[in-house]
Amino acid sequence: MFYYSYFSLIVFVLILFFLQTSSAATGRFGRRPGDVILGGLFPVHEYGSPREPCGAISEFRGIQRLEAMLFAIEQINNDKHLLPGIKLGALILDTCSDDNYALEQSLRFVRSRLTSGTCTCINTSISESLQNDNVFGVVGATLSSVSVQIANLLRLFQLPQISYASTTPKLSEASFDYFARTVPSDSNQARAIVDILQRLNFTYVNTIYSHGDYGEGGFREFKRLLKVSTQLDDETNSNKKQQQQICIADEQRLKRDASVQDIKSVIQTMIDSVKSDVQVSVYVLFVTKEDARKILQAVKLIRITHRPVLIASDAWGKESSVVIQGDTDEIAVGALTLELISIQPVNFDRYFNALKPDTDKEYDEEYLEDQVNPNEKYMLPRNPWFNEFWEHRFGCRLYSGDECREHQLNETNWDSKLQFIVDATYVFAQALHMYFNCTTSTCYNVSLNSINGTKLFKLILEKPFSMPDFRQIQFNSERFVPGHYRIYNYRRSDSSSSSSSLDTNASPYEYVSVGEWKVGRNETGQLNLAIDSIVWPSTNIYNPSSSKIIPISRCSEPCRVGEVKQFQGDSCCWVCTLCNDTSIVVGAEKQERCEPCSIGYWPTVNRTACYKLDETYIELFTVQAMVPISLSIIGNLLTLFVVIVFYQKRTTPIVKASGKELCFIMLAGIHLCYSMTLPILLKPHIITCIIQRVGIGLGFAMMYAALLTKTNCIARIFASTKKQGRLRPQYISPNSQLFICTCLIMVQVLLSLLWLAYEHPYVDYIIDDRLVILKCQMNKHSFLFSLTYNVLLVLICTMYAIRTRKVPENFNETKFIGFTCYTTCILWLAFLPIYFTAYETSRHQIHITTLCVTISLCATVALACLFTPKVYIILVHPEKNMRLAKQLKAQVSSFKFTSHLPVSKNFISNDQMTNYDISSSDGQSKSVVSNDAEEQYHLLVSASKTVSFKTLPDNSKIINDKPKQKIPTIITTSDAEDCLNNEKQTLNLKKYPYEDNDSLNSNSLQGEDIMI
């Protein structure tokens, strides 16, 4: 069967050959003489019509590409190390972008293999010898449909062919065994478009493709990739986030030579087929340049409400001829086009701009100065279409005068495929260099008329080739060179307003690069797209402005995690149904359903599987635990240190004056508060839960009950001194204070026991947000109620601290008690909001950490404010912690007075101290200290008994004037002894000048000895 088809194709070629020779071959061709001839196929003219296949001259895809091949041949011939002694020639044909016309023209490449002889071609003055047209390979063509036809022809004669622009995947099939290309296949381009759609979340698109191998092949590959990506998503659904499936809402193929009206009908049909609640704003185009131009014109005629987003293949690329300036340029705004990344051939711009139209004139000397062999000059008949291009470019006639010839090319816009043409030409030259076994100076085994195409093409596929710009290319297994794509966005030019005033022909629109796509390792596509830089079309076609808002193109909103799709006919249209919190989504894309997890299991994050729940509690080596544990350890060490100091110095005045029994109770409470951190942080257990309930309240109660007992004692003592009767306060002895403190503590113990009986402690297992949280069951309101009693103790202490804030400085401990109470209140005010806010199970770690830190801080405040000053005096200033009576002994002189005798008000002044011994009539004596003259006077006058004073031996002097200010209070030795544990204590007083804020002088009172 294969040989039959092969024979039939040869017969068909022979028929075409005789038809072509009989019609005298009216087409023009470019010819450059050489030892070996390399063929070239270029669309010098645009496609015309079925009757007249060749239309207008094509500057970019025709003339520039043709000259790029001639430029490469000149560079090769000027290179002494490449094909030394062999001159490379060219035979260039025009395809007119028509496959049938191109096939007819390409018979020139194989004609010498079918016949021999000499003939004269019509419409040319060049006498060509068919024997000299020994073409060993062909560069071209542009269109995939043309390359397919030419490849079928050339393979019959084993002529290698390398295309610079044909990208259809069909040409990678094994049947095209003599075809290669320096550009990648459309399979890569289709992958790039799929990646762009996925990145922009365009999941429902319309597709339009042209008739022929380029459009149909590109669309088939695009559709195949959509199916493959869907299958891959289904297979990897449990391992990665599923990408949105891309569906084609409608697909339309444009017929050959479709008119604008035909395309308008196609687009209108696609618009009408979309449901009203579906948004399809993206059109993927696999069309030729001519069809792309017509699509823009058709969209303008339809005047749809929302302008579409056009994503086009590389046939559109950066072609300025696709968009008609002043007509369809606004319709094209927002379009995304792909184009192969290429490099401008070195010095080609100077070469091209030096060309002249005269057929008998040499090149400009400016270009020839840079050539390796500047004396070698070539004539322009090698490009018979250049004069036509010149007249079209400058709008003049060459033969109407010299003015048309005086123009100068100053081209700045270049075709994107020039690099690939130069690459293909150099590949043929270097492969021929290896075929002839050439060195840098000579070639061996040269047989110019019998080049084996099979051997030559094998070298092309197997060997790497170095390009003039130091790149290295090599064909892969599918016979193409992998390439990268640049993504362009068509938009209004940022400088259009300023440039328009300088150049009236400058377009206010431009192509701006917004990304790249390339094949990475493991043949995976890598997309780099600057989404924020893309300018999108306006939502309203009547509004010419553009937008930065990404359009929406999808049938249904994507379902969220935990929702299943209920499909409604179309595979991309659905309604989302939410599964419950304990269910997962199972099944394939179109068979999703909700399935509940078993007891003790919880759905994974993506709701595709269930996993066993782990028991969660605070680990001891986490940050949440280490901070409170550190505070607890440091606090307990400091508490132990204070206990040791107080125990060792328990007989000193400072410790005795502080009330050592209450101090040790407070230190025990502080230690218990610090120690509660560990039971709270340990793994919840029935025992730790009981310890928490009892220990927290008990620790606070021990601290604040002792503190309340002390402040109450001080307040009652100083309150009694203001009374005229000056009765001694009750229950201020140490035993009384211990009893009161114990009663207050037992109230808290009773409340804790009632709480345990009312709410039995147990470990609660709370399932929340994929966690099984272990917690001691503790109702937050019950816990708050248990702390209410301790809060009440703190508030009462605070009240007493405020009342006793102005007591004499020998009782200045009330100031530190006040600091303790105030700071504790602030801590609890800050703790309560945090505690209740973090009580939710999702924040149980914060909740527990906050509780531990707050308890430790309360203990730290009490330890720092109440004990640090005393420890400081004991350790740093021991001289202040001793009896001054040992230094100054009082000398006593007794005087007898009765209360009935007149007493003078001339008492000792406040800057001295004189002591009197006054005995009462009943034989009892009492020692009184006062540095206020007025107060002593009234005391003595009103006394019903004799009072004894002792006088110190200092330089005292009697003054006759009454003191200006009254320094408050009178303190007796017996009262001080009762308050301070019924022992002979030291009462510190200090002298002050007469001022309103004066307090009692700092003296040391021991029994009946007064010490300054």
DSSP, residue by residue, 623-690:
HHHHHHHHHHHHHHHHHHHHHHHHHHTTTSHHHHHH-HHHHHHHHHHHHHHHHTHHHHHSPP-HHHHH
Q: Compute the distance between CA of residue 773 and CA of residue 777 in angstroms, rounded to an integer.
A: 11
Report the alpha-carbon distance of residue 988 to residue 991 in Å, rounded. 10
E strand residue ranges, 294-350: 309-312, 336-340
930 in Cβ contact with 915 (< 8 Å): no
Distance CA 152, CA 112 (A): 18
- What stretch of H or E contains 427? helix 418-435
Q: What was the pLDDT predicted at 43? A: 94
What would you report as the CA-atom Rg of the chain, rounded to the nearest whole angstrom?
Answer: 53
The two beta strands, 135-139 and 36-42, are parallel
Q: What digits encode the pLDDT tens for the residues 203-242?
A: 899 999 999 888 999 999 999 998 876 655 544 443 444 4
pLDDT band for 590, please (50, 70, 90 cuts).
low
Mean pLDDT in residue range 300-328: 87
Question: What is the C-alpha to C-alpha distance for residues 27 and 385, in angstroms, rounded to an integer?
Answer: 11
Residue 293 confidence (pLDDT) above 90: yes
Sequence-ordered list of residues with C-beta below 8 angstroms from that of 313, at least 6 positions apart, any chain? 186, 189, 193, 218, 285, 286, 287, 337, 338
**pLDDT: which is higher, 699 or 1:** 699
Do 286 and 258 form a contact (C-beta atoms < 8 A)? Answer: no
Residue 195 pLDDT grade (very low, low, confident, very high; cuts 50, 70, 90): very high
Comparing 176-180, 740-744, 851-855, 926-930, the range with the smallest average pLDDT is 926-930
pLDDT at 453: 93
Distance CA 223, CA 823 (A): 73
63: CB partners within 8 A, 6+ apart:
44, 57, 383, 385, 386, 389
Q: Check residue 721 and give its pLDDT.
A: 65
Q: Do you find a cis peptide bond into 719, omega within 30 degrees of 0?
A: no
In tens, the pLDDT along 796-823 reads 888 887 777 666 654 557 678 878 888 8
Backbone angles phi, psi at 31, to 5 degrees: -140, 130
Task: Tell whether the torsion through CA atoms of 683, 685, 687 and 693 is positive or negative.
Answer: positive
* More confident site: 152 or 960: 152
How far is Cα 636 from Cα 630, in angstroms, rounded to an integer? 10
Helix (H, G, I), strand (E, B) or coil at 975: helix
Bridge partners (DSSP) listed for residue 89: 37
Find out whether 585 and 564 touch, Cβ atoms under 8 Å: yes
Range from 243-252, 327-336, 918-927, 968-977 carrying the lowest mean pLDDT: 968-977
* Nearest alpha carbon to residue 37 among 88, 112, 108, 74: 88
Do 779 and 748 form a contact (C-beta atoms < 8 A)? no
Highest mean pLDDT out of 348-362, 390-404, 465-479, 490-504: 465-479
Residue 915 has pLDDT above 60, yes or no: no
Per the listing, tokens 């004799």 go with: 946
Helix-strand-coil split of the chain, %, nearest 5: 40, 15, 40
pTM: 0.56
| Confidence tier at 615 by pLDDT (50, 70, 90) | confident
Q: What is the mean pLDDT of residues 236-258?
A: 73
Tell me what the pLDDT averaged over the chain comes to.
76
Provide the 10 A C-beta neighbour count for residue 479.
Answer: 21
| DSSP per position, 896-945 | ---TTS---S--B-TTS------B-TTS-B-BEE---HHHHHHHHHH-SS
- In this structure, the dihedral spanned by the alpha carbons of residues 572, 576, 582 and 584, taken in order and rounded to 10 degrees, is -10
Reported as a pLDDT band with limits 50, 70 and 90, residue 358 is: low
On whether the CB atoms of residues 732 and 979 are closer than 8 A, the answer is yes
Nearest to 91 by CA among 133, 123, 44: 133
**Residues, the chain:** 1012
| Eight-class DSSP state of 841 | G
- Residues 807 and 718: beta-carbon distance below 8 Å: yes
Residue 434: the pLDDT is 94
- Is pLDDT larger for residue 123 or for residue 519? 519
Per-residue confidence (pLDDT) for residue 770, from 0 to 100: 65
Q: Which is it for strands 54-57 and 45-47: parallel, antiparallel or unpaired?
A: antiparallel
At residue 73, the pLDDT reads 96
Q: Is 480:180 a contact under the CB 8 Å cutoff?
A: yes
Q: Which structural domains are found in the chain, ordered by start? A: 2-181 (3.40.50.2300), 185-349+484-555 (3.40.50.2300), 563-612 (no CATH), 623-877 (1.20.1070.10), 888-1012 (no CATH)
Q: Which residues are bridge partners to 207 per DSSP?
A: 251, 284
Residues of the chain above pLDDT 70, percent: 72
Burial of 598 (0-12, 13-18, 19+ CB in 10 A): exposed
> Would you state the structure tokens that stand for residue 560, as one six-digit string?
């969220």
Q: What is the pLDDT of residue 838?
A: 61
More confident of the two residues 383 and 162: 162
Q: How far is CA 819 from CA 428, 861, 864, in A?
A: 96, 9, 10
Alpha helices in 236-342 (DSSP H): 260-272, 289-302
* Band of residue 755 on the pLDDT scale cut at 50, 70, 90: confident
Q: Residue range 18-32: average pLDDT?
A: 59
**pLDDT value of residue 978:** 41
